[in-house]
Every structure is written in structure tokens, then in C-alpha cells.
Amino acid sequence: MPKIVDHDAYRNELLQKYFDDFAHRGYSDVTMREIAESLGVSTGTLYHYFPTKKSILENMLQLASRRDISGAIASIKEDTPLEDRIRAFSNYIMEKEQWFADIVMLTIDYYRQQNKEGGFEMVKEADSYYGNGVAEATGLSAELGFFFTIFFNGLVFHRLAFPDSISFHDQAELFIKVFMTYLRAEGMEKNLKNEGVDSGKK
Amino acid sequence: MPKIVDHDAYRNELLQKYFDDFAHRGYSDVTMREIAESLGVSTGTLYHYFPTKKSILENMLQLASRRDISGAIASIKEDTPLEDRIRAFSNYIMEKEQWFADIVMLTIDYYRQQNKEGGFEMVKEADSYYGNGVAEATGLSAELGFFFTIFFNGLVFHRLAFPDSISFHDQAELFIKVFMTYLRAEGMEKNLKNEGVDSGKK
Amino acid sequence: MPKIVDHDAYRNELLQKYFDDFAHRGYSDVTMREIAESLGVSTGTLYHYFPTKKSILENMLQLASRRDISGAIASIKEDTPLEDRIRAFSNYIMEKEQWFADIVMLTIDYYRQQNKEGGFEMVKEADSYYGNGVAEATGLSAELGFFFTIFFNGLVFHRLAFPDSISFHDQAELFIKVFMTYLRAEGMEKNLKNEGVDSGKK
Amino acid sequence: MPKIVDHDAYRNELLQKYFDDFAHRGYSDVTMREIAESLGVSTGTLYHYFPTKKSILENMLQLASRRDISGAIASIKEDTPLEDRIRAFSNYIMEKEQWFADIVMLTIDYYRQQNKEGGFEMVKEADSYYGNGVAEATGLSAELGFFFTIFFNGLVFHRLAFPDSISFHDQAELFIKVFMTYLRAEGMEKNLKNEGVDSGKK
DNA sequence: TATGAATGAGAATTCATTCAT
DNA sequence: TATGAATGAATTCTCATTCAT
């Protein structure tokens, strides 16, 4: 019998190990040799787990979007007011800002590969992470869930491009203030999927 | 003297012609030969105008950020209420969505090159486009100008990655509603740099 | 003891199963993994039976040349006139044309490997199949045996390269006509090794 | 203006220079790097003239089949008896035996590539060299032209595989004897396209 | 015996750049 | 200025072979 290896587990391990470098350097600027070396395996072994370079990007994004949702949701405690939930999300993103920036960059790489001849389909399931996941975890409507996601993706992107330009914390707090003002003005009920959450505020 | 004018004008013409392909395919996936062919010149000629591939990216982003600001500002009429100004900006971005998506993508490429050994400095002036330009054109504070910019960059990015996910118009209108609600609640004065613009309320 | 019988029998089975693919694709274009997969064994097992890829080619040709001769000779009935014997050979080759084409191709591969550093010796015994075997089975002189063989190898080769060019049957019949005309003209006796076979033609 | 090079002439020069090695080592066993080195150019330059490795094989065979016919025909003098013409052909092949062996081997390579996915069409025009060209140059019928060609291809192949087995000269003379016997017996007229050639003997 | 994970040298091909014309 | 032939290091991917289990 051959060496016993949990193929899938090892694949994920490799993906996570190289996630950061891959995103920062960019799909096209990273070489299979470098990836292999960095992971401490031979190129042959790398190809044993990933048939093509593309498949690494594909699997990375898939893995990321899954961990993404679960991680964010886990950071939210039950039975807390809406503002706290939103702030919890915001803090979660701030803490993992680099990681979210990685996802933004890999998404661009993915988009570009997708448009190539022989490219692959966009990972539809990643879309749920953008918006629906947020909505679910906060109790907001899907539209507002996307609103939230869009802003924070924009924030992550902006700070990636211009690190010295703005403060994450300040813009995030501004967002929360603006957002909460709107929700209160409009009346919470309309914007919440689940009645009773954070209501009754005079 | 006329030579120099021609030279620069021709450079810009080349940059604009290939801008879209460059952004969509990505810095690393576009070859100098392809650029040359697409522009109808030889590689030798291309190198005559741009000493390296990097310099094309550099000049492209520079050109983009300049046209960006001027175009947006030009679309705003004087003496209009704040909401109209904001909507004018939003509409401008919607109409040129593809162009803004290109800038987002090229910015990522630029960021990545910047981090490389021998990479170049980030174009500082591009930052003004993000935020300060908006603030200036609308009369908002710099902080709110960035707030605006961040959201719309997020929106452009999101729709780039997930074209079928959300509507530009709907999310933009939602933003305007949220934003205006906040401005009205907080009192316009605090958020405007220039008194007297869009005032007279009450 | 029974192990060894199994071992060799299994080896031959593997060789025969993959003979055709090997010849058609070519020694260098076939991979050990493909061979293994096609045979339903692991690469490890394949290496258990054949220490190197070269050894597969070697054993294949050896096996082929043996079966070749025996098969052809078996197809010839005793005490038949020379023309019938020759035609029997011709028919045998026509029926197994693909098989003979395989041998032609593998022989080229073999020749090329032989010329390499570390290459192997030509299987001398295969030569007997070309010519001597035919001579023996038909009662012709060695020289005419080779003459026969040469023509039919040429025919197989030509049809391999240009399948739509000529008919096997027509050219074979032409050969027999030409050949028999010559034998009759020259006098059979001179061209036959064994007197008495197909004689009495006073 | 760029360096002035006669593209096609240089291509042919490269093809002829490497013809022999290519055939002997085999399509799959020769590397582009080796070809380039052997030709004294860089791999980049090699690719400048041949977009793929396949295209080298393709062009080589095409070039060969053309030179083949013209060379053979040129060696035949006008107004000579048929037997002399045939012998002239035979001598021509004997002198260039190595070269014909090369073509046989390359043809096999070609056939194998042709059968691959993405393979190319067989060079139809090469078929004319086999048979029709001979017929034309000797005045024989097409069928007998192919008969001739088939035998000599077989002879070349056989001597390639088993160099010590038979003599080219002996088998060639045997062929001529057999062939001429048949032609005389059948009556020349039937086998000649052009009346009057080499007839009326005795 | 049998398996298939692991290896790493080497394959075909690409590409930014140079430079003779 | 303009051309495109030439370069060669670097890229993705392959594959015969080994070996721990």
C-alpha cells in the first residue's frame, strides 16, 4: 500500500499556506516553482495535488469564501443589538483586513482568468459571501447586506491602494453612524428580516 | 518643439487605445508584442515611446487618474443642490462603469508591481482622485468625500466580480438615500466645507 | 516454480495487451503511467514486471518476432504448390496488416534506441523472421525469401503512410504474378532449397 | 528597417541542416534546445522560424518529398532503355540510401503525430513521390511505379533495421532481373504508358 | 507483491528587451 | 524614427523512476 495521505486535507493545507503570497504577488507573477519551494515540496508533488496553476487559484478562492462566511458569522454573538452586530462584523474585517484584501486581489485575478479562452466559471457561491451572508448574520435585508459588503470591500480596496490615505477605524465608524442613522430614520422594521431584533427603542 | 508635442500626443493616444485591453487582461498577461500589434506598430516603435513595459502601466494610471477627476468634475453643474451633485457623480460613474472598473484592476496591478524589488512608487496624485476630488466638486468634507468614493469603488468592484448580483442603479440610489438621510440628520453645516452651498433648508 | 510461470505469463499478457497502442503512439510518446492505467495496474506493479520502459519495447519486439514467424508458418499447409504457399503468406500478412505495421513502427523505435548512448543491441533473432523464416516455410532460397519479405514490408509501410494510395490485394497479386513469372522463367530448381517441392513440372 | 533576411530561404536552410539528426534521433527524442544549438541559433530564433516543433517535422517532410522527386528524375537520362532507367533509379536510391532511410523514419513520426489529437493532415503531395513520380520518370504504368517504390522502400527499411542482413546491390539487381523478366514476358506495351520506349528489341 | 505519493531534471514554449539595418 | 530578427532566461507542465507503506 502507498504512503497514506489525506489527499483533500493536504490540499487545503497547501492552499492556506500559500494564500497570502499568491494574493500579494498575483496569479501571473507567482511561479509554480516558487510555490512548490515555498511549500517545501517538489513541483511534481505540487502537480500531484493541483493539475494546473489555474486550479490553485480556483481552489484558493473557494476555500477562502467558505472560511470567510463561517469566520465572520462565528464572530457575532446572539441576541445583541443590531449596531453591535454590525460593529462586530466591521471589527472582524478590520482585524482580518489583510486577508480580505487578499480576497479582493485574487478575485480580480480570477475574473481575468475567467475571461480568457479556456477560462473557468466564476465561483457563484462566493457571491453569497458578499451580501447574503452578511444579511443573514445581522438580520438585515439582502439589499442592505450588500450595501454593507460593498462599502467594506471598497474600504479594503482603498486602503490597499493608498495605505496612508484613510483610517479603517474612522471610516468604519462613520459608516456605522451613517448606516444607523438611516435605519433609525426609516424605521427598523422595514429593513430587518426578523422582527423583534433590536426593536422597541422608543 | 512640434516634435515633442507630437511625441507626447502620440504616447497618450497609444495609452488610451490599449487602456481597456490592458486592464482586462492584466499587466502580466499582456505582452509587448500584443500591445504593439494591437496598436499597429512594431515592437521597436513601441519601445521608442515606452522604455519598459512597466512604464506603460505607470503612464496609463497617471493618465487615467487625471482624466478621471476632470471628467467627473466637468459633469457637475454649478449652483445645484447637494443631492443633485452627488447623483451627478453617481451617474457619471455608472455611465463610465467599465472605465472605473479598469482603473480598479490596474490599481491592483500597480500595487503589486510597487511591492516588487525594483518596483515603482505609488502614484500619489491618484489618491486625490479618491476622495479629495469628490469632496471638492461636491462641497463635502474630505472625510465624506472619501466615504462616497469608497462606496462607489466597492460597488464597481462588486459588479466586476459578480455582474449578475446587484444593480448599479439600485445600490447607488440606496446610497444616496442613506447618505442624504445622514446629512440632513446631522445638519448640513457640519459636513460641508463651504457654507452656503445647498443651504436655505428651513 | 508456479510463481515463475505466472510471472512470465503475466508479463506476456501485459505486452500483448498494450502492443498496438505502443506501436501506434510510439515509444517516446507513451508514458509508463498510461501503460499502467491502460493495463489496470499501478505504476509500481508495472515496474515490478518491467524494470525500465526500454525493457518493455525490447520484450515487445522479441515477443512479436516469435509469434510472427510461428503464426505465418502455421498458416501454410504442407504439400501445396509454391504459388499457393506464397499466396498463403501474402494473405496472412494482409489479414494481420495492422500487426505487421505495428512491427514496422516498433522496429524504427528500436533502431533509434539502439543508436543512443546506453541503447541496446538489435534483437538479432528478429532478423530470421525477415527472410529466413519465409524461405524456410516456402522452400525458396534465402535470397528470394528476403526478396519476398522486403516487398511486403514495403507494402505494409506504404499503406501505413498513405492509406488511400494503393490496394493491398492488388499489389500483392501483382507481386505474385511478377514473382511467379520470374521463377518459371528461371527454372524453379535454381530457386528452391529443397528439391522435390512443387516440382515435376518437367 | 530591420535586418534583411530571406525568411523562407533561411527556413529551408535550417531544415536541411538538421534533417539527418532529426530523422535518426526521432521526432520525440530530439529537443528544441538541441536543434537550436546544433543549428547555431537561439531557441528564440528557432521559434521565430518555426512556431512549433511539429511544424519542423511537417516542413521537413514537405521539403524532402519535393527534393526527392526532382533529384531522382534529374538522374535519369532521356532516350535510354527502360532497364537502364530503372537501374538509374535504383542507383540513385542506393547512393542516397541514408537519406531515403531518413524519410522512411520521418514518415513514421509524421504518421504518429497525425493520429494525435490536434495532429495534422498527411502531406498528400508526398504520395506522388511514392509511385507516380517513378512511373512518370520511367514511363511505367502507375501500378508498376508503385510496385517499384514499394520494393525499394522495403529494401531501405530492411537495411535500416538489419544493416548486416542483406546487400542493397544484390537485392536491387535481383529486383531488376525479376522485374524485367516480367515486363518482357508480359509484353512491354501493356506496361508502358508511352509507346515506343525501349520496344522492338529483337 | 502491490500501491501511488514523491521526486526533480528536462521538455516545449514565451516574452521583455536589444540592436543592426 | 521605425522595423522586426535575435536572444536566452524563465515559465508551465511532464514523466521515468523510486520507495515507504
Residue C75: the pLDDT is: 73
User: Distance, angstroms, CA D53 to C1' F5?
Assistant: 19
Is the C-beta atom of A43 closer than 7 angstroms to strand F? yes
Q: Is residue B186 part of a domain?
A: yes
Q: Is residue B16 part of a domain?
A: no
CA gap C136, C74 in Å, rounded:
12
pLDDT at D194 over 50: no
CB burial of A114-125 (b: ≥16 within 10 Å; e: otherwise) equals eeeeeeeebbee
* Interchain CB distance below 8 Å, D158 and C146: yes
In the predicted model, what is the mean pLDDT of chain C?
83
CA of A4: nearest nucleotide by C1' is: F21
Range ranked top by mean pLDDT from A76-90, A93-107, D74-88, D168-182: D168-182
Task: Give chain D residues 6-45 with Cβ within 7 A of strand F.
Answer: 7, 10, 41-45
Q: Is residue C24 part of a domain?
A: no
Is the C-beta atom of D118 closer than 7 angstroms to strand E? no
Q: Is residue D162 part of a domain?
A: yes
C20-30 per-position pLDDT tens digit = 999 999 999 99
- Give the cell for residue B43: 515592437
CA gap A101, B87 in Å, rounded:
29
- Restricting to A residues 51-90, those with a Cβ less than 8 Å away from any Cβ of B are none
* Residue pair C144/C135 in contact by the 8 Å Cβ criterion: yes
- Residue C164 is given by DSSP the state T
C163-178 per-position pLDDT tens digit = 888 999 999 999 999 9
CA of C46: nearest nucleotide by C1' is: E2
Of residues B178 and B118, more confidence is placed in B178
Q: Is B108 on the interface with A (CB under 8 A)?
A: yes
pLDDT at B121 over 70: no
Maximum Cα–Cα distance across chain C: 66
pLDDT at A15 over 90: yes
* Residue pair B71/B92 in contact by the 8 Å Cβ criterion: yes
In 3D, which of A108, A183, A197, A120 has the Cα closest to residue A148? A183
D38-91 per-position pLDDT tens digit = 999 999 999 999 999 999 999 998 888 777 667 777 777 778 899 999 998 899
Residue A195: the pLDDT is: 41
Look up cell 509507346; give the residue.
D195
A162 CB neighbours in chain B (<8 A) are 122, 126-127, 130
pLDDT at A1 over 70: no
Maximum Cα–Cα distance across chain A: 70
Per the structure, the residue whose CA is closest to nucleotide E15 at C1' is B31
CA gap A109, B90 in Å, rounded:
27
Task: Give chain D residues 3-62 with Cβ within 7 A of strand E.
Answer: 3-4, 30-33, 43-44, 47, 51-54
* Minimal Cβ distance to C154: which of D109, D122, D151: D151
CA of D49: nearest nucleotide by C1' is: F5
Residue numbers of the domain that contains C76: 57-194
* Interchain CB distance below 8 Å, C165 and D131: yes
pLDDT at B165 over 90: no
pLDDT at C192 over 90: no
Q: What's the mean pLDDT in D148-168?
A: 92
Q: Is residue D16 part of a domain?
A: no
Per the structure, the residue whose CA is closest to nucleotide E12 at C1' is D32
Any bridge partners for residue B58, and if so which?
none
pTM of the model: 0.85
CA of C53: nearest nucleotide by C1' is: F16
Residue B78: the pLDDT is: 72
B43-67 per-position pLDDT tens digit = 999 999 999 999 999 898 888 877 6
C8-20 per-position pLDDT tens digit = 888 888 898 899 9
In the predicted model, what is the mean pLDDT of chain D?
84
Q: Is residue D48 part of a domain?
A: no
Listed as own residue / partner, the contacts of C184-187 with beta carbons closer than 8 Å and 24 or more positions apart are C185/D181, C185/D185, C186/D181
- Terminal-residue alpha carbon distance, chain D: 70
C31-60 per-position pLDDT tens digit = 999 999 998 999 999 999 999 999 999 898
Q: What's the mean pLDDT in D94-113?
A: 93
A123-166 per-position pLDDT tens digit = 666 665 667 778 888 888 989 999 999 999 999 999 998 888 89
Q: B23 to chain A: nearest residue by CA?
A: A112
Q: Is residue A36 part of a domain?
A: no
C158 CB neighbours in chain D (<8 A) are 130, 146, 149-150, 153
pLDDT at B85 over 60: yes
C110-151 per-position pLDDT tens digit = 999 887 755 455 556 666 566 777 888 888 899 999 999 999
Report H helices in chain B.
2-25, 32-39, 43-49, 53-74, 82-95, 97-114, 124-129, 132-138, 142-161, 168-186, 188-191
Task: Give chain C residues 58-97 with Cβ within 7 A of strand F.
Answer: none
CA gap D89, D72 in Å, rounded:
6
Residue D65: the pLDDT is: 77
Residue A2: the pLDDT is: 54
Q: Could you please report the per-residue DSSP string of C187-201?
A: -HHHHBSSTTTT---
Using a 10 angstrom Cβ sphere, with 0-12 exposed, 13-18 middle and 19 or more buried, the burial of residue C200 is exposed
* % of chain C with per-residue pLDDT over 70: 81
- Give the cell for residue C46: 508495472
* Residue pair D26/D107 in contact by the 8 Å Cβ criterion: no
Q: Is residue D108 part of a domain?
A: yes
Subunits that touch chain B (at least 3 Cβ pairs < 8 angstroms)?
Answer: A
Q: Is B180 on the interface with A (CB under 8 A)?
A: no
pLDDT-derived band at A72 (thresholds 50, 70, 90) equals: confident
Strand, coil or helix: D87: helix
Per the structure, the residue whose CA is closest to nucleotide E20 at C1' is D3
Q: Could you please report the per-residue DSSP string of C26-79?
A: -GGGS-HHHHHHHHTS-HHHHHHH-SSHHHHHHHHHHHHHHHHHHHHHHTSPTT
In 3D, which of A190, A131, A64 has the Cα closest to residue B164? A131
Residue A188: the pLDDT is: 64
CATH number of the domain enclosing A134: 1.10.357
pLDDT-derived band at B138 (thresholds 50, 70, 90) equals: confident
pLDDT-derived band at A49 (thresholds 50, 70, 90) equals: very high
* Minimal Cβ distance to A174: which of B143, B158, B166: B143
Look up cell 529483337; give the residue.
D202
User: Distance, angstroms, CA B55 to C1' F1?
Assistant: 20
How crowded is the C-beta side of C114, counted as CA atoms within 13 Å?
Answer: 16
Residue C198: the pLDDT is: 42
Residue A77: the pLDDT is: 75
A165 CB neighbours in chain B (<8 A) are 127, 130-131, 146
- Restricting to D residues 83-102, those with a Cβ less than 8 Å away from any Cβ of C are none
* Residue pair D120/D101 in contact by the 8 Å Cβ criterion: no
> How far is CA A5 from each of CA A8, A53, A60, C37, rounded to the nearest angstrom?
9, 22, 20, 21
* Minimal Cβ distance to A157: which of B26, B116, B153: B153
Is the C-beta atom of C42 closer than 7 angstroms to strand F? no
pLDDT at C199 over 50: no
* Interchain CB distance below 8 Å, D166 and C146: yes
Is the C-beta atom of A120 closer than 7 angstroms to strand F? no
* Minimal Cβ distance to C165: which of D107, D116, D127: D127
- Nearest Cα of chain A lies from the Cα of B180 at a distance, in angstroms, of 9
D148 CB neighbours in chain C (<8 A) are none
- Nearest Cα of chain C lies from the Cα of D41 at a distance, in angstroms, of 24
Q: Please give the tally of structural domains in chain B.
A: 1
Q: What's the mean pLDDT in D150-160?
A: 95
Residue C37: the pLDDT is: 92
Residue D195: the pLDDT is: 40
